[in-house]
Structure 1
Amino acid sequence: MTLRISLILGPVAACALALPAAAQDYCGGGSGTWIGGNQANSDIATSDTYREQLALVLLGNAHVSLFDLSSAMDVRLEAQGRGAGDPVIEILDSTGAVVGGDDDSGGGTSSAALLSLQPGTYCMNTSSYDNAPLTATVRIGQTRHEALTEGGAQLSANGGNTGGGNTGGGDTGNDGGGSMTDSGACGGAMMIGGGNPVEGSLGGGLSVTNAIDSVPTYAFVVGSPTTLSITAENQDADPVLTLTGDDGTFYAENDDFDGLNSRIDMTTALQPGTYCIGLRALSNGTLPVTVALTGYDPVAAAQALYDQGEVAPPMDGSYPITPLGTVASRSVSNAQVQGDRAQWFSLTVDQTGLLLIEAIATSNGDPVLRLFDDVGRQIGYNDDYGQGLDSQIAARVFPGTYLVALTDISGSSPMLRLVMERYVPAQ
């Protein structure tokens, strides 16, 4: 027997816990729960109000909300966590291809995305950023419907990432800028590189600097298949980057790649055509933000991920790793993180047991911990354990070598204390 539960959260808004749908597969083979309670009531294009669900996410899984569109339109998708929950959303089309996503654009830890979608069936996946248990409200609606989050309302007011843009003034960088597109989804956007096609490695790169409130959209032309990196830098503005095609195709979005700066790496070559860069400021849209295009460098990209502590570096001596030796029972080490760059430590465990790792700020720090096994799989992550800003990981480990990445997001380069304790099963 299948138990189905549904609650009413708002006018004509269906609300359901994350229960599986019928046997039919959606979005490339997955299943989910119709946002309106059933397929007929989940066509956002014909809805007179938003559709809403309560998502309960456990054990690192995702809540999948299904919805239909009977006609092309702009759709607003939001998720707002309850308590300390930090939801992340990802939107897939009927083939399973990712067409959009977001983390934190809704304001605080809430997520919000505004997408121009064609008719079809879509899935919105809501997951927990740090894999902690999550209860969240998810809402899908037209731009005329009431927004769930503050950021969602701002997306609708500003046009979000669906194209267009203010062509206001500002100080341009070394590419001169100045020219504007006059058609397509990038219509009215300021051209980077003056509209000249970018090719190959892009030489020294192209950049332009303006306040996001003045110039929220840029465009550039690709002349031949090109892999490239796009960055938006000014941590005080906290920019969010979105890359779309001039036909409205969504390619990528990023927030907080390097501190509060954003970066998109297009490792698959962009084909000739015009592309749009959309910007949103999560903090201060009046501050200058530098947007740069550079040729994608896989070595530099890997180095950047090591520096951020998000990917484990090789243990062949090519990247600095501090060895801590075998953890016998308890060890304490001091570390001072410089800027946003991670400090890496290696340790050895000689028998199966529980490994407890703590990062404690001795001053005004906010440490973050990640634990990886010897083949680079992340097996532990934590930020802000308990009621404070210190971090703690407890992981079951087996004999072998492990890597610990220690970062700090306070921006103050504090002194941190790394504490490790090992517990073995009782005999």
Structure 2
Amino acid sequence: MTEQHVINPLSIGVDYATLAARFRPIFQRIADGAVERELTRTLPHAPIQWLKAAGFGAVRVPVEYGGGGASLPQLFELLIELAAADSNVPQALRGHFAFAEDRLNATPGAGRDVWFKRFVDGDIVGCAWTEIGNVAIGDVVTQVSPDGDKWKLNGEKFYSTGSLFSDWIDVYAQRSDTGGDVIAATRTRQPGVVQSDDWDGFGQRTTGSGTSRFTDAVVEAENVIDFATRFKYQTAFYQLVLLASLAGIGRAALNDVAHQVRSRKRIYSHGNAAHVSQDAQVQQVVGEVAALVYAARASALKAAVPAQRAYLARFGGDEAAEREANVAAEIESATAQVVVSELIQRATSQLFNALGASDVRQGKALDRHWRNARTVSSHNPVIYKARIVGDWVINGTEPPFVWQIGNGPAKA
């Protein structure tokens, strides 16, 4: 074992079959209740508690600290399996895994060790970055202010994905004293934090993506983190979680259409066989859906490889190699986004060509796959990612590593 491993062990991957076997019974339990949660809009508090208790939130923490030691491709493969059970759950954990990844990239030391222990103990982190209301692009209204040996956080955020299930919230804020952008990690269970389940999207309905309000919420000084130190491949990472969600949606849709075809008794007089499962045209449709899902999964996992390279390069001491890896992580995640979004939307629509009118009944909830895929695909607009990839291919223009959303200038 090298001196670097003793001082700073890294998560380079473990045996995937052994790792996944820990969680697959939980994934199945989550899948068993997915349709009921969708129909009743029941938030997945219990599923996330099951995952917390099993150590799922610590799968990226190095083995030496009690975590799973998974590589990034292994994390995203697990998230694909989880998304096949219920795609709301990995998206609800998106902020947690991003914050954990940032702590994995942090300078080794006691502060980082504290967070590793929290993750291993089961703590989950939500996120709250998007400002509410009439805010100009680039403005950060939410502020964190020094208050003795602690800080006070004030502001309001939307798209607080996963925060309803979390022990902490990763809040993007501005320091009142210096104007610097920071991450304020604040404890959820305190009087100054009020959360609302007011996300009303037609898909991904139970991700806990509503409003968070902070009124003099307490933040420990060590948890006000300079945003300039944020891990460089963060945008790629966030996108990779969505790609895993899409690939899992595709797998769930494929499982459902295969089950419906196998169990269907009614046939059409102008069909091709005495049983739907033997109808060559229906088989072709299911085969095409399977191919779309296969390509989406392969693309998502391939796109995760440069992110792992960027993580390792963070501690490699070669700035040029690290920058190259960060660019590759961004470009490959964007490239995969362009194609995976299209593949899974096609798959989740095309599956109905293998079924009948009775399969659009609400009780079967097969429409959730397309609605969820369309909702996930609406993040980080794919048209801009396609342009960024094109600019890189043509001109070698590096992609933006951080971007914001807000009101543009007033029209003349």
> Could you state the TM-score of these two structures normalised by the residue count of structure 1?
0.24
Which structure is larger by alpha-carbon Rg, 1 or 2?
Answer: 1
Q: Which has the higher contact order (CA 8 A, sep 6+)?
A: 2
Q: In proportion to residue count, which structure has more helix? A: 2
Higher strand share: 1
Q: TM-score, normalised by structure 2?
A: 0.25
